[in-house]
Amino acid sequence: MELAVSVTVTMTGGTGTCYINANQAGNGNYSAATQQQTWAAALKIGQTVTITTAAPATASIHSTFPVAASSTSGLIVGLSVDASSTGVCKLGPRTIVSGVTNQTVTMLKSTGTCTINANQAGNGNYSAATQQQTSAAATP
């Protein structure tokens, strides 16, 4: 008579290897069985960044507007002014509410495009997300 045992294994990290050993000690009628081992390599979980509050299509010099982003991992999203937009706009202080990163953008010029990058680099359990961007064209 064979007795099958089933278990559910939960991976709790994104790195390393999970080893599962199957043992049967035997009894008065049967000798101990040879240990069987199986394993699974842990993989990082993918994540995405979503711009939850996008820049307006246009914004005038000295005006402000909010930009916000979140990640499916719940990790904090970093917002930054794209290198191509240096001097066109700047970010104000960051706030995080319910996992959403919020920042106010101030337009510094009346020409150019203000592009804001949203990034999440990942950690031991999540891989880096693909960068997302939102832009506003400066107007006088």
State the Cα–Cα distance between residues 114 and 107, nearest whole angstrom.
8
Q: How many domains does the chain have?
A: 1
The CATH number of whichever domain residue 119 belongs to comes to 2.60.40
Residue 113, domain member (yes or no): yes
Mean pLDDT, residues 102-125:
97
Residue 114, domain member (yes or no): yes
Q: Specify whether the CB–CB gap between 53 and 68 falls below 8 A.
A: yes
Percentage of the chain modeled with pLDDT above 70: 89
Q: Are strands 132-139 and 58-60 parallel, antiparallel or unpaired?
A: parallel
Which residue has better confidence, 17 or 120? 120
Mean pLDDT, residues 52-76:
98
3-class DSSP assignment, residue 83: helix
Range of the domain at 105: 49-139
The pLDDT score that the predictor gives to residue 27 is 82
What value does the mean pLDDT of the chain take? 89
Residue 128, domain member (yes or no): yes
